[in-house]
Structure 1
Amino acid sequence: MIIWHLFCQQAFGSVLDSAQTSQLAPSSYEVKIVESSELDYASHAYYSALLKLALSKTENPIKPTYLVESSGNLVQERVLRQLNQEGGIDVFWTVTSKLREQQAIPVRVPLLNGIMGYRVSLIRQNTLREFNNVRSAPDLKRFVAGQGHDWPDFQILEHNGFTTLGTSNYDIIIELLKAGRIDYFPRAAHEAVVEAKSLNDPDIIIEPSVLLYYPSYMFFFVSQSKPELAQRIERGLNIARQDGSFAALFEKYISFKDIEKALKLSERTVIKLNNPHLSEATLKATASEAQQLEVVQ
């Protein structure tokens, strides 16, 4: 089966249990991250495991590193603000943009190998026939998309002329879809498969014929007060890419071949969009990923 292992039961407790904080040795190094929630659909397990892998590549045996979850689930905009607050989190993973790269230190190593830009949509079953007639961007622009108001994807869709309704969190977007307030909810391909299965609602399906594509990358973002941590994570990720452990972890949670097979991406009508919110530094750092992913015609 595919991709994120739903509600993964792997034992991250020894690493991620915030209750452990008081028990850590004085010589240890803590890295604070957001806590997991059901709405993560186990993606938290992947990103925290990847962060732990990167840190392990540059570990000081005398001063071991522990990931510690902070309390409280916040929307992305507030999490990014927490990165630079005293006592806030140290590292967050999210889609990059020029603005976000000004708010925190980006570690410009794509965590999903660029597949975040392949977007398919959750729709209502009773609108399937209408979407079957979509052959171009103007056709799709007749419908209303839903996105988080603080997600870069919201800005990308608006920049490309799509009617988009923004709201504060995932649950509300799903409710708006069910109520007919929005017509479709574009999701990264790997997200859509897991979320449709988890929702387990016969009225909500994955639209089968359209693929949106634009360059989009997930990065680790680090507090501006900890540049040495950002450098360490980047160094560790690059080591993991070179020795194959990054690819092995990615394959453990995500299989692009399985995604392509499940969603028949190569058979879909591709609508390419422009993403004006990538910095020059990010475009340069991700040039090889963009070239590899530019396979949709």
Structure 2
Amino acid sequence: MRLCHWLVGFSLCYGIAFNVFAINKVTLTLPAFKDNGHEFFHELLTESLKAQGIEVTIITPSRHTPQKRAVHMLNKNQISLYWLVKTNERDKKYALVDVPLTNGMIGQRILLIPKGAQHHYKNINTLLDLQKSGLVAGLGANWYDIDVWKASNLPYHVKDGEWRQLYEMLSETGGVNYFPRGMHEVLAEAEGQPQLEIEDRLILKYNRSMVFYLSESAIEYKLLIERALKQAKESGLMQQLIDKHWKKTINTIKPEDRTIIELISP
């Protein structure tokens, strides 16, 4: 009887794997953003699957989907997958494609600050210095950053709804003083917000990566996407796309010249 059960299980697993790897066309429904922050992730999926001989069609429900709405759509099977910071809670809730996507840049936070506010940061070199400064971070609702800032004993303000409204809330002396962004995100955002600038000395670092989480409707593609991304990493394709989208940002940020402040990752 045990042998029978094992054979049935093996047959089912083998059949699923065979069917997945026999696919040659995939249609994915993905969120898009008005600041084009989705482009790398769309292209990574398209090119990595293309390298496996799979034609990809991407459908975007709208030109701009706020993050909170995108997560809701993921929960409701209205999109195929979404890229988010990897957390234990999300690992339990969604099907995980366990391949890091941005070389850890999401956890290397560069600060967007109001123009003219650089002097508030010039003497900050340690976590204790940042704690004593009293400077308040602006964070989006349900972000992993909230747990990090809380564990690191740093003050923060949470913006519910559209996190991009934080751009207009930043103030040199008001309630929200800086906006920590992933290294790969910050340059494009600064260029789109003329009232802001990039703080020029610090990296606030925590150890987390960004990954794809699948909705239930797209679980059938998990093995396919995972294999494609692993091979994209091994072949150098992923790094080529990272360079294409963010090499200018990295050259501008000059991470090698910055002071790294290690935050507490709970």
TM exceeds 0.5? Answer: yes
Pick closer, same or farther for the CA change 1:58–1:266 going to 2, 3 Å.
closer
SS of the residue 1:138 aligns to: helix
User: In 1, Cα distance between the equivalents of 2:115 and 2:61?
Assistant: 39
**Equivalent residues in 2 for 1:55-134 (5 A)?**
55-59=49-53, 64-71=55-62, 73-86=64-77, 88-134=78-124
SS of the residue 2:261 aligns to: strand
User: In 2, Cα distance between the equivalents of 1:152 and 1:32?
Assistant: 25
Q: Which residue of 1 aligns with 2:16?
A: none
Pick closer, same or farther for the CA change 1:194–1:28 going to 2, 3 Å.
closer
State which of 30, 37, 40 in structure 2 corresponds to 1:46: 40
State which of 235, 243, 265 in structure 2 corresponds to 1:243: 235
Q: In 1, are the aligned partners of 2:49 and 2:225 still within 8 Å (CA)?
A: yes
- Residue-by-residue CA offset, 1:273-292 (whole Å, 9 max, x unaligned): 1222xxxxxxxxxxxxxxxx
User: In 2, Cα distance between the equivalents of 1:211 and 1:65?
Assistant: 36
**Equivalent residues in 2 for 1:183-202 (5 A)?**
183-201=177-195
Question: Following TM superposition, by how much is the alpha carbon of 1:253 offset from its aligned partner in structure 2, in angstroms?
Answer: 1.1
Question: Following TM superposition, by how much is the alpha carbon of 1:161 offset from its aligned partner in structure 2, in angstroms?
Answer: 0.8
User: In 2, Cα distance between the equivalents of 1:100 and 1:196?
Assistant: 29
SS of the residue 1:190 aligns to: coil
Q: Which residue of 2 aligns with 1:37?
A: 33
User: TM-score normalized by structure 2?
Assistant: 0.81
Q: Which runs of 5+ in 2 are unaligned?
A: 1-23
User: In 2, Cα distance between the equivalents of 1:29 and 1:263?
Assistant: 37
State which of 182, 205, 208 in structure 2 corresponds to 1:216: 208
Pick closer, same or farther for the CA change 1:245–1:185 going to 2, 3 Å.
same
Q: In 2, are the aligned partners of 1:146 and 1:164 still within 8 Å (CA)?
A: yes
Equivalences, count: 239
Q: Which residue of 2 aligns with 1:271?
A: 261
Residue type of the partner of 1:158? Answer: K
- Residue-by-residue CA offset, 1:198-235 (whole Å, 9 max, x unaligned): 2123xx22111221111121111111343321111101
User: In 2, Cα distance between the equivalents of 1:140 and 1:154?
Assistant: 16
Q: Which residue of 1 aligns with 2:143?
A: 151
Q: In 1, are the aligned partners of 2:107 and 2:205 still within 8 Å (CA)?
A: yes
Q: In 2, are the aligned partners of 1:76 and 1:151 still within 8 Å (CA)?
A: no
SS of the residue 2:170 aligns to: helix
Larger Rg: 2
